Structure 1
């Protein structure tokens, strides 16, 4: 019942947002019956339908080719809709200001015309008049045709005052002014929204940037000082990001020459059958101490057991609630909490319970929320992802409500937590205010 109510609320919200965007970008800027209005109205129905199809096709088991067809326009429209709406809402504050500016401009122009007309009349009245007089005794300038006498104006029928002419002109100009304001604000909002999404898409397709962070560990021996771990999270291979994206990530990681590579979950959004070939470049990862993998929540939407077997075949070592002792520290990994639905959730006792706490320890865990379990078990450093840094501003504000740390390095008691923004994107292949990254974490010994 709760799910149905939430679904109804979401559908109602999206319908309202689409109605608002249509009104501001189409209804207010085009003429009824015009081709542009017809095209805009069709788009207002087709685009959300594509978005709905993109979101449900994977879960509904649609053929992968159909998922790919729907994904690009459907997911991109969600991002465009978001930033169009934000830009249009900002434009609501601009509309009255722009109208007032236009009103003042028109009044000033009318006053200038009025003053110009009065000056011309005064100048003409100062010139001497010569010529014959008409039957009423009025002097008629030479060369001017004689005019028949006119009856006096009745009371109340005097020449309209300048302010009346200005008001009439403004009244006639009002519809065109409203159209101008609507088109100016709508056009600016469209440029801002599309430009933002275009730049954010370029950032994702270009590939992640390398970040470098130094983390001092009190228990790390001098021999391990400067040890480098390449942290890769949230690759999200799927209908949009495929094999080429994996290759970019592998090349970027290998160029950093890490000692160890940690893939901390949400590698895929789909089955091994659909995405196995997209993940194959991971076999090219190179590090002296190897590559390790822990599950994220999306692996449990995509067949976690099959993916664990597949990444093992590619040369990565899955850490399923397990630990390995390296030269200078213990490396442990726990399953994602989404695995609890399958009886495969995180088990900190199994991964960390019997270890020597005199040794430094690094924990791989997809979600930052398990930091409190890490503190309880004496972990020195937890490496996580999951948040995407918010991915789409102002999504970082929402991510902050659900996660102790959205991105970067923070300390919780004696345990430090580093959260990567991730190397890919989920849903829209767009990032705004949260650039994708691969982080090289360099461990520092306080004894060095």
Structure 2
């Protein structure tokens, strides 16, 4: 299948998924909770608009300068995140809501089923305290809520819970994601580490994702945080950007100010293959950053040494840039520990087969910057 055909297929699938998703959200969050024709019409119009905007925003982020279309991409991606949580919460509540509806229906049927007629042969005898002067008048009581009213209350409760949960979760996620990263120091013991390397510091950064949400200020902030850890080695383990080097090189330029004893090293991530990866590697070279592309380098430090190796991301297999562990790790001095840079944690299986002492990975969007101090066991 040609690239154009693949893109058309992906675009068509995206539209179908967006339509199904928004139709479901309309049913649960609008139609089921109100009988107002005006509100339902508004919900239908919004459903159609979002169905068109979500694929348009995703495609725009893919092909246009992300910094220039941020006005469209940011709200679209924010809604995608919120919609995902809405779907998750509503899906979890489907079974409890169904069981509650069944229980209410059974109770309603039982309450409104007339009791079987039985003949009562005993008649009450009037006593001295009984008033028989007129017919008995039953005490007034409010009408019980109908089944339809109960189902409406349940539907509104589910919609309110899902909306509140999704909004709060999305808001917290954006607050954390757009804020400064956490820095976590992890002591690491390596069996073959020379005692003179005790305390050697490697600071890892990953998934900077320069693009519509993160620009030059984001890069500069991360550079300041990384430099504050006084690293001996800086490792950038993939997913540098969500755009081309032509559009975003200026936003990555603060990386040239990274300061460490033995330099900064980069390996590719899956997002880096969405654009011209060669252009990005050339740009990083201009910034003084070395790309480990199925290669390694010997780092000597205070009389000891480690091998620092790097492999391309598994996504590189689709772009004639397959990770090659043999090339990166073969014919090395077995007395030195080897630290492998690989974007995805799943690559640890191959790393273990090649006797790697430590693998540094990102991809899961955990700690954005983690200095590690190496020490012998």
The interval holding the TM-score normalised by the smaller chain is 0.7 to 0.9
Deviation at 1:14, TM superposition (A): 4.2
2:329 matched to 1:352? yes
In 2, Cα distance between equivalents of 1:308 and 1:160: 91
The secondary structure found in structure 2 opposite 1:209 is coil
Q: How many Å apart are 1:10 and its aligned residue?
A: 6.3
Out of 413, 425, 437, the residue aligned to residue 368 of structure 2 is: 437
* DSSP 3-state at the match of 1:210: coil
Matched, 1:39 2:12: no
When normalised by structure 1's length, the TM-score is: 0.69
The answer as to whether partners of 1:237 and 1:275 remain within 8 angstroms in 2 is yes
Match of 1:269 in 2: 242
Q: 1:92 to 1:295 in 2, by over 3 A?
A: closer
- State the partner residue of 2:219: 246
Quick one: distance in 2 between partners of 1:16 and 1:358? 58
Residue 85 (structure 2) aligns with: 83
Match of 2:203 among 220, 226, 230: 230
Cα shift readout 1:53-109 (whole Å, capped 9, x = no counterpart): 1222244x33546642331122112211111122223333554549979999xx99x
Q: Decide whether aligned partners of structure 1 residues 184 and 324 sit closer, same or farther in structure 2, where only a CA change above 3 A counts.
A: same
Where does the alignment leave 5 or more consecutive residues of structure 2 unmatched?
A: 112-127
Q: 1:169 and 2:146 equivalent?
A: no
Matched, 1:26 2:3: no
How far 1:33 moved relative to its partner?
1.8
Structure 2 residue 173 is the aligned partner of structure 1 residue 200: yes
Report the 3-state secondary structure (helix = DSSP H, G, I; strand = E; otherwise coil) of the residue aligned with 1:21: helix
Structure 1 43/258 Cα, relative in aligned 2: closer, same or farther at 3 Å? same
Secondary structure of 2:355's aligned partner: coil
Question: Distance between the aligned counterparts of 2:52 and 2:136, measured in 1?
Answer: 61
Q: CA deviation at 1:356?
A: 0.8
In structure 2, distance between residues paired with 1:378 and 1:91: 47
CA contact (8 A) 1:99 1:181 kept: no
1:110-129 alignment runs, 5 A limit = none
| 1:336 counterpart residue number | 313
Match of 2:119 in 1: none
SS in 1 for 2:36: coil
Cα distance in structure 2, aligned partners of 1:97 and 1:278: 53
Provide structure 1 residue ranges, at least 5 long, that are not aligned to the other structure.
Answer: 109-124, 129-137, 141-157, 389-421, 423-434
Q: Secondary structure at the match of 1:326?
A: strand
Q: Deviations over 1:131-164 (max 9, x none)?
A: xxxxxxx989xxxxxxxxxxxxxxxxx98988xx
CA positional deviation for 1:280:
1.4
TM-score, structure 2 normalization: 0.81
Quick check: 1:363 aligned with 2:340?
yes
> Structure 2 matches for 1:10-409, cutoff 5 A?
12-34=16-38, 36-59=39-62, 61-64=63-66, 67-95=69-97, 97=100, 169-170=143-144, 173-327=146-300, 328-386=305-363, 388=364
**How many residues end up aligned between the 2 structures?**
351
SS of structure 1 residue aligned to 2:184: strand
Tell whether the 8 Å contact from 1:51 to 1:70 is kept in structure 2 after alignment: no
Q: Secondary structure at the match of 2:338?
A: strand
CA distance in 1, matches of 2:294, 2:275: 20
Contact 1:48 1:74 in 2 (8 A): no
| Kept in 2: contact 1:220–1:444 (CA 8 A) | yes
For residues 346 and 89 of structure 1, the distance between their equivalents in structure 2, rounded to whole angstroms, comes to: 39
Change (3 A) 1:189 1:370: closer
Residue equivalent to 2:121: none
Residues 1:77 and 1:159: Cα distance change in structure 2 (over 3 Å): farther
